[in-house]
Amino acid sequence: MDRFVTFDLWETLIADSPELDGSRTEYRVKNTHSLLARRHPGIDIKDIYRAHEKIWQECSALWTNARDISFPGQVRLFIGSMGDDLLTSLDQNEIQTISEIYSGAVLEFRPRLIAGAREALERLASRGYRMGLICNTGRTPGITLRELLKDYAILSFFDSTLFSDETIIRKPDTAIFETALRELGADRRRTVHVGDSWENDVRGAQAAGIGAVWVSPQGQGPVDCPVIKSVAELPEILDRI
C-alpha cells in the first residue's frame, strides 16, 4: 500500500539567509532602475526601494489570512508603487523584463540545499513513498522555484508541487493540503507532512487530518508531534511512525 509524504520547501529542503535576501533586493532594485532609467531618466532608485518594501508589506497582509496574490499581480503592484502613471507607460516587453529580474534574483543568489536533503528524498523514493511539495511563496514564484529545484536535482522526486502564488491559498489553510492529497491520490491516514513552521506546517497538516513531523534545529518540540533537527533524519523517523 502506498505511503505519502508532503514537504515544506524553505528552511526544510532549502535554507536562506538575510545576506542572500539582501543581495536579491539589491539585484531587483538596481536592475529595475537601470531598465526604467532609459525611458524615465527622472526615476529615483529610492522610489524603487520603497516600492520593493511596500509590496512586501501589502503581501504580508494577505499572507496573514492564508491568502496570496499571483506573481504577475505582485509585479504589477511593484511597478505601480513606483509612480502613479508608470505601469500604464510601460509596454508588455518591459513589464516582462521586470518580472524576469524580480523572479530571477533567486537564481543569482541561491539558497543552499540542506545537507542530506537529496539523500533523504532518494531513500524515501526507493522505499516507494510518493512525495509532494507545498510551498508558501514570497517574492519568488513557483515557476522559478521549480527551475531551482531542477538544478538541485530534486524536482523529479515530487509527483505534486504546489506554490501559493499559483494556488492563491497558503498554509495553514487546510484547502492547500486537500489539494495535495487529491493530486497525489493520497489517503490522509497514510500521509505525513514535514516542515519547519509550527503554525503553517504542523498545525495546518493536523487540521487537515494529516500526520506531521516538525523540523526544529533546536530539537525541541511538543510531545504530540515527532521532531527532527534536519530533514536528513526523516527516513529513520518515518520507520517508527
Mean pLDDT value of segment 71-75: 97
Q: Which fold has domain 3-16+112-240?
A: Rossmann fold (3.40.50)
**Backbone angle region of 219, left / alpha / beta, with phi > 0 → left and psi within -120 to 50 → alpha:** left
Mean pLDDT of 60-86: 95
The predicted structure's pLDDT at residue 217 = 87
Rounded (5°) CA angle 158-149-129:
20
Residue 223 has pLDDT above 80, yes or no: no
Instruction: Give 15: exposed, middle or buried? Use CB within 10 Å, 0-12, 13-18, 19+.
Output: middle
Q: How far is it, in rounded angstroms, from Cα 132 to Cα 167? A: 14
What is the band of 59 on the pLDDT scale with cuts at 50, 70, 90?
very high
Which of residues 174 and 42 earns the better pLDDT score? Answer: 174
Of all helices (H) and strands (E), which one includes residue 130?
strand 129-135
- The pLDDT score that the predictor gives to residue 224 is 84
The reported pTM is 0.96
Half-sphere exposure of 149 (CA within 13 A, CB side): 25
The fraction of the chain above a pLDDT of 70, given in percent, is 98
pLDDT of the residue at 126? 96
pLDDT in tens, 110-157: 999 999 999 999 999 999 999 999 999 999 999 999 999 999 999 999
Cα separation values, 81 from 75, 76, 95, 220, Å: 10, 8, 14, 42
Q: Is the pLDDT of residue 221 over 80?
A: no
Task: Name the more confident of 2 and 133.
Answer: 133
Q: What backbone phi and psi angles, to 5 degrees, belong to 223? A: -80, -15
Amino acid at 236: E
pLDDT grade, residue 62 (50/70/90)? very high
* Helix or strand (DSSP H, E) at 16: none
42: pLDDT strictly greater than 90 = no
State the average pLDDT for the chain. 95
Beta strands in 145-241 (DSSP E): 158-163, 191-195, 211-215, 227-228
- Greatest Cα pair distance, the chain, in angstroms, is 64
Average pLDDT over residues 201-229: 90
pLDDT band at 45 (very low <50, low <70, confident <90, very high): very high
Cell of 51: 516600492
Annotated domain spans of the chain: 3-16+112-240, 18-108
| pLDDT bracket for residue 69 (50, 70, 90) | very high
> Which DSSP string do the residues of 25-77 spell out, in sequence order?
HHHHHHHHHHHHHTT-TT--HHHHHHHHHHHHHHHHHHHHTTB---HHHHHHH
